[in-house]
Amino acid sequence: MDFTMYVFPGILFIAILLFFYFVPVFLWLSALISGVRISLLQLVLMRIRNVPPKTIVDCMITATKAGLSDITRNDLESLYMSGGHVKNVVRAMVSATKAKIPMTYEQAAAIDLAGRDVLDAVKTSVNPKVIDTPAVEAVAKDGIQVIVKARITVRSDINKLVGGAGEETVLARVGECIVTSIGSADTHEEVMENPDNISKLVMDKGLDKGTAFEILSVDIADVDLGKNVGAGLQIERANADKNIAQAKAEERRAMAIAQEQEMKANKIKAEAEVVLAEAKVPLALAKALEDGNMGFVDYYKLKNLQADTTMREGFANGDNSKVTPVVDVQKNDVEDFFENNHDRHNVHKPKR
């Protein structure tokens, strides 16, 4: 069986496919019919440079039909090889031209290469965009929290898209201005009655300076009341003062207890000193008797005085157990004195 009759047609078919792939004749004819002048050699070179010829040709046809004759093939190829979005740039140029917005191809390419959506920017310039702010919480001077939501209408500024701040900056500035406006109000009722004061303050501040947008209006969408922050702060301050006062009182109490314990210790010390002093009295009496500085009559009178004092204290306290007959105490003490000291002082015991 002869396989050459099947192989040759296959090779020929593959060769034809490769030819039309690298030499897009039909694409060239389409461009020629649309009024776009481009050679087959340029299409082949695009394929070699990994640039899709269909994308470039379609964009050139669109630009030509829109009257954008200043956009060339080299511009589109350079933009594609730089990582730009060729279709978005061409469509943005067409939209800007139809809307009579002054924008050159260089501006559109620069905006696209800067990472912004140039087509969306042109649409925002034609149809302004509304940005809803998150809930902004602020406190008036009377301590009442006010929660405000605003709607910002912005329009893209083509000349500021490169290097201009984005939506986040606009939202931050508007939020800061709302907080300032509420904080400067004397009462929350003033904010509730005149929310347009916030809008006027925001518009007068010129918050769109340095951004890629032009603020057309700021409308207050919702105003709500929040917490009574002032009352909460007063309660916290009162609790803090109470805790401080309790701490100081506890400190004074601890000092008083310490002082009381110290006084008790001093009292015990004084009582001990009294006991020590009283313990020295008998020794002093004995030494006085021994030295002859005190007679037994004096000693008798002293004991009689002590017994009388003990008896009086017993009557005063209602304790009869402390009431001891004075005579017995005197008699016994005198007898004990003579028994213990008759040899030392050479005295005789009196007869009964």
d(CA 52, CA 342): 148
- Measuring CA to CA, which residue among 120, 208, 201, 219 is closest to residue 170? 208
Asked if the model's pLDDT at residue 323 lies above 70, the reply is: no
Q: Rg (Cα) of the chain, in Å, rounded?
A: 57
Asked if the model's pLDDT at residue 252 lies above 80, the reply is: yes
- Measuring CA to CA, which residue among 134, 228, 150, 236 is closest to residue 187? 228
Check if the beta carbon of residue 141 is closer than 8 Å to that of residue 181.
Answer: no
- According to the model, what pLDDT value does residue 331 have? 47
Confidence of residue 329 (pLDDT cuts 50, 70, 90): very low
Three-state SS string over 141-176 comes to: CCCEEEEEEEEEEEEECHHHCCCCECHHHHHHHHHH
- According to the model, what pLDDT value does residue 186 have? 86
d(CA 208, CA 214): 6
Backbone φ and ψ for 36, nearest 5 degrees, come out as -95, 120
> For residue 192, which amino acid is it?
M
- According to the model, what pLDDT value does residue 10 have? 60
**What sign results for the dihedral spanned by CA atoms 68, 69, 70, 74?**
positive
Average pLDDT over residues 184-209: 84
d(CA 180, CA 170): 15
- According to the model, what pLDDT value does residue 35 have? 80
pLDDT per residue over 58-76, tens digit each?
A: 888 888 888 887 888 888 8
Is-above-0.85 flag for pTM?
Answer: no
In angstroms, the first-to-last Cα distance of the chain is 176
d(CA 297, CA 323): 23
pLDDT per residue over 9-40, tens digit each?
A: 666 556 666 655 656 777 778 878 888 888 77
